[in-house]
Amino acid sequence: MDTQNKLLKKLPAIIDSDTGVRLATSHIYGFTAVGGGIELVKITLRDGKWGGVPKDVQLTKIGARKRMLAFSNANKGFLEIVNKDLAGGDSFPVLKAVLGVATGVVSFGAGLAFTVLTTASEISQSKSPVLARFGDEVWREEKIGKTVSSSFFGKDRQVGVHIARYFLEDPFRRQRNIVPYKWLVVEKRTDLFL
């Protein structure tokens, strides 16, 4: 058994599918400029393909959670820009579809393109749009695991994947266990180079 298969065997299965929730790339750079870069993997280009190389080569650390920023008067302009996209921007109607993500951990690959978010996912399954307020926080959750990748030719294979999810959280509701207290605003999945 080669090294890649040994490492894949160590990883937990990821059964949730990609939500497709995205904000503009500039927002992600804004979140990470304050809170720091990805914790679990280093994003790299290999053979013309972007992927993640685990920083812990033994894969003993497969999850991380970190507060990226809190909205305040100091970043009021950034808050307004984020809310504009959460509301659908100038040219996109707000979608009322809800993805209902209950938990998760995430990552994003530096330099990879994101699409504009036309809605936010709310954990409560309600259909109200989500907007950030002063005091709200952005948290990043990451996890590493394995999933099945289907090819065009019908050969399914297991692949390692790094997931970064960014949540808008209301700390008041979180402290009092009022659901929902967090809303998914970005998810990015990156295949791993093992």
d(CA 98, CA 56): 35
pLDDT at 174: 86
d(CA 20, CA 58): 29
For the chain, what is the domain count? 1
Q: Nearest Cα to 120, choosing from 189, 22, 30, 26?
A: 22
Average per-residue pLDDT in the chain?
74
> Is pLDDT above 60 for 98?
no
Task: Check: CB of residue 69 under 8 Å from CB of residue 31.
Answer: yes
Number of residues assigned to the chain: 194
pLDDT at 104: 29
d(CA 127, CA 113): 27
pLDDT at 67: 92
At which residue do the structure tokens 């993500």 appear?
A: 101
For the entire predicted model, the pTM comes to: 0.71
Q: What is the CA radius of gyration of the chain?
A: 17
pLDDT digits (tens, 9 = 90+) for 28-87: 777 776 667 888 999 899 999 989 999 988 888 899 999 998 999 998 988 888 888 887
d(CA 96, CA 106): 23
Q: Which of 110-119, 123-132, 159-168 has the lowest mean pLDDT?
A: 110-119
pLDDT digits (tens, 9 = 90+) for 99-127: 222 222 233 322 222 222 222 333 333 34
Q: Which two tokens stand for residue 41?
A: 């993997």
pLDDT digits (tens, 9 = 90+) for 175-189: 888 888 898 888 888
d(CA 72, CA 75): 6
Which whole number is the average pLDDT over 128-143? 87
At which residue do the structure tokens 């280093």 appear?
A: 42
Which domain does 90 fall in, by range?
A: 3-191
Q: Nearest Cα to 60, choosing from 45, 40, 36?
A: 40
pLDDT at 3: 76
